[in-house]
Amino acid sequence: MATRTTPCAALALAAALFCWTATAAEPVRIGFSMALTGGTAAIGKQILLTFELWRDQVNAKGGLLGRPVELVYYDDQTNPSVVPGIYAKLINVDKVDLLIGPYATNMVAAALPIIMQYGKTTIGLLANAANSNFHYANYFSMIPSGPNPKASFSEGYFTLAAAQTPKPRTVAIVGADAEYARNATDGARELAAKFGFEIVYDKSYPPSNTDYTPILRAIQAVHPDIVYVASYPPDSVGIIRAANEIGLDTKMFGGAMVGPQITATAMQLGPLLNGIVNNAAFVVDDIMANPETAAVLRAYQEKAPAQGIDPLGYTFPPYAFAAMQILAEAVTATKGFDQDKIAAYVRTHRFHTPVGDIAFGKDGEWDETRALFGQFQHITGNGIDQFRGWPHQPVLWPAKFKTGNLIYPYTAARN
């Protein structure tokens, strides 16, 4: 017996097929804020390009759960006060499927209360100890700090100082009055006590500060054997210039300064960087020997010059790509966007990424530290070749990654 389809039934069927097709084609929307202006924009733009490269690669392979990926983002201006509003908008207005980021400790700490309120999962980007007060179970950190994140940004520095003969005795600690620097200087105080250093200067400055010469003169006046600094890019530049201007006389200088890892900043400072012992992300020869990391950097370096951003991208793009990769793997494995299921998967699995194999532990930090410390040495000019492959920043600590020797004291390395 033949089945007859009435016009109304045909229309209903067509409408159902249209709705199904539209639903199937809807993109997976991943939301975040990013520093596209302000003090950390030089880093934020690297991360955004990397996210776009990841999106394009995923979409070329059929998307996420068979749907194209779309990025939904807003400029947070490197201003923590605007971050909560951005994440509330992403959740309530844009109704994104997934969150990631934001970038930097100050911004992640500002975003977490909103993310927690709505029970969302996120992977913060290069945020030091941002979850140490919240203890939020659905937060994960893409930074190699490890189980003791505050101390990780100073352990190598103080270990190197304590190994010198004669051992230096006194330390000056200075940092911005903001989340990142507060966490890092908390760790510095912990390590100073552990290694028996007397703290002779311990002060912070407002993030809006622009004149660092009085700060460095005050430090010089107490004659510390070593100087530990925690700072973001604009203040790092100001502090380094002020140290050279006054001829800072100390045995070690550096710590957790964000900024010299940006190629343009390193080129701008040039020989003024000589002697600084600072945290580092990678041994460049090692990451370039990793085919996955090399592929990320090649893709990044092909696009970056046309956008006028960091042409090398040795530090930040591999971490950004790894964060997106982990998020996508968890979504694929759990077959959906249930935030608790995604977080449970991330919490209980090890991931193979462009920055190595990663597993997460307490507070979403890596289960082992991979923080490195290196020293800028023998920089003679401001050209990009001084920094391609980081030939002038050998890794000093930990020993298993060591590629060079400390030039000590700072005054000898600076000349």
| 196: CATH | 3.40.50.2300
pLDDT by 10-residue block (mean), the chain, 415 residues: 40 42 73 97 98 98 98 98 98 98 97 98 97 97 95 96 98 97 97 98 96 98 98 97 97 97 96 96 70 91 96 94 98 98 98 94 96 95 90 92 95 89
Total of domains in the chain: 2
Q: Are residues 32 and 162 in the same domain?
A: no
Q: Are residues 178 and 253 in the same domain?
A: yes
Q: Are residues 59 and 93 in the same domain?
A: yes
The answer as to whether 395 is a domain residue is: yes
Q: Are residues 229 and 165 in the same domain?
A: yes
The residue out of 364, 389, 404 marking a domain boundary is 364
Q: Are residues 275 and 383 in the same domain?
A: yes
**pLDDT on residue 389:** 84
**pLDDT on residue 287:** 66
The answer as to whether 18 is a domain residue is: no
Residue 174 to residues 259, 278, 296, 343, 415, Cα–Cα distance (Å): 16, 14, 35, 36, 24
The answer as to whether 13 is a domain residue is: no
| DSSP states of 30-78 | EEEEE-SSSTTHHHHHHHHHHHHHHHHHHHHTT-BTTB-EEEEEEE-TT
The answer as to whether 137 is a domain residue is: yes
Q: Are residues 273 and 159 in the same domain?
A: yes
The answer as to whether 312 is a domain residue is: yes
The answer as to whether 16 is a domain residue is: no
d(CA 175, CA 72): 33
Q: Which structural domain range is residue 107 located in?
A: 27-144+288-364
The answer as to whether 22 is a domain residue is: no
d(CA 102, CA 35): 9
Q: Are residues 405 and 258 in the same domain?
A: yes
Instruction: Copy the structure tokens of residue 110.
Output: 């500002």
The residue out of 326, 341, 364 marking a domain boundary is 364
Q: Are residues 187 and 252 in the same domain?
A: yes
Q: Are residues 215 and 179 in the same domain?
A: yes
**pLDDT on residue 16:** 42
The residue out of 328, 343, 364 marking a domain boundary is 364
Q: Are residues 163 and 203 in the same domain?
A: yes
pTM, rounded to two decimals: 0.91
| pLDDT tens digits, 171-218 | 999 999 999 999 999 999 999 999 999 999 999 999 999 999 999 999
Look at the alpha carbons of 263, 265, 268, 271 in this order and tell me if their dihedral is positive or negative. Answer: negative
The answer as to whether 10 is a domain residue is: no
Q: Are residues 276 and 406 in the same domain?
A: yes
d(CA 266, CA 240): 11
**pLDDT on residue 3:** 37
Q: Are residues 194 and 122 in the same domain?
A: no
| pLDDT tens digits, 131-174 | 999 999 999 999 999 999 999 999 999 999 999 999 999 999 99
